[in-house]
Amino acid sequence: MFSSDKLSTPIFYDLLFYLNADDRRKMDCYWRSAYTVVALPLIRNMIDCLYNVTAILQDPRKNGPWFRKSGYRKLLEGLDQDQARYGDDPEWDAWIRNARSEIEFDIRHRMPFTVAEVLAEKEWPTLGKYINMQQPGGTYTSHQMFLRTLLYGKWREYSAMAHVGSDGLLMTGVLLYRTPCLTNKGPTTTSFCECLVCTLAKRPEYSSPSSRSYRRTFVSMARTSTTESTKCGPC
């Protein structure tokens, strides 16, 4: 029921190692520090995978089919919205009809439930909704409390990066410029990126006070790049 989540997480993990291997960073002339930054939101995807798998395992007989049916329902509802918006276009009509046929065929021949049961299923909650679903008496389960820890502190930063929020760009935005907005008064773009990645990964050698000072420098320079971009050249 959740094989895709089980398979995707190791792939995300392998990709992060692939992008940040010493040989690639130092020997590949096409490597850019921004590639590391744009891959960081995948860590948030791994947290979502962990949530889906462990939530299903709380009650596999009930939650497994619920997860599947909710996904199919969203696909079919998306096609309904496309039909309402583009239904007068013959090309769209053909595409929507074929897509709906493939989904319904998959349900009928691969799933132990019907299309009607799919349409009647309630939505599978996102991680954010799940951890705030109160139990009887206004309490929360141990599973919910465990998942809450992945939305605090450093883990919260990955969500901000994934949603391209201002707080997320504060940490990474300066590295996304095609012409880096870093002056000769601070670290280079490459060393800057290495500090960010290692700080987020919490390697022991980067947990010293000097590393924390370096990270504060990173945030300060990111702020400067957004407020005084005219001093940084053509960004």
Secondary structure (DSSP) of 133-166? -PBTTTB--HHHHHHHGGGSHHHHHHHHHHTT-H
pLDDT of residue 67: 97
pLDDT of residue 82: 95
pLDDT of residue 201: 54
Decide if 138 is inside a domain.
yes
Decide if 187 is inside a domain.
yes
Decide if 224 is inside a domain.
yes
End-to-end CA distance of the chain: 47
Q: DSSP letter for 231, please.
A: G
For the full predicted model, state whether its pTM sits above 0.75: no
pLDDT of residue 8: 67
Instruction: Say if residue 58 is in the same domain as residue 173.
Output: no
pLDDT of residue 126: 94
Q: Which residues of 44-68 are buried (b: 16+ CB within 10 A; e: fewer)?
A: bebbbbbbbbebbeeeeeebebbbb
Q: 68: domain range?
A: 3-16+45-149
pLDDT of residue 4: 53
Query: Where does a domain end: 123, 149, 175?
Result: 149
Per-10-residue mean pLDDT for the chain, 235 residues long? 56 84 88 83 88 95 96 97 92 94 95 95 95 94 94 81 82 65 49 59 44 46 41 37
Decide if 31 is inside a domain.
no
Instruction: Say if residue 140 is in the same domain as residue 172.
Output: no
Instruction: Say if residue 73 is in the same domain as residue 124.
Output: yes
Decide if 127 is inside a domain.
yes
Domain count, the chain: 2
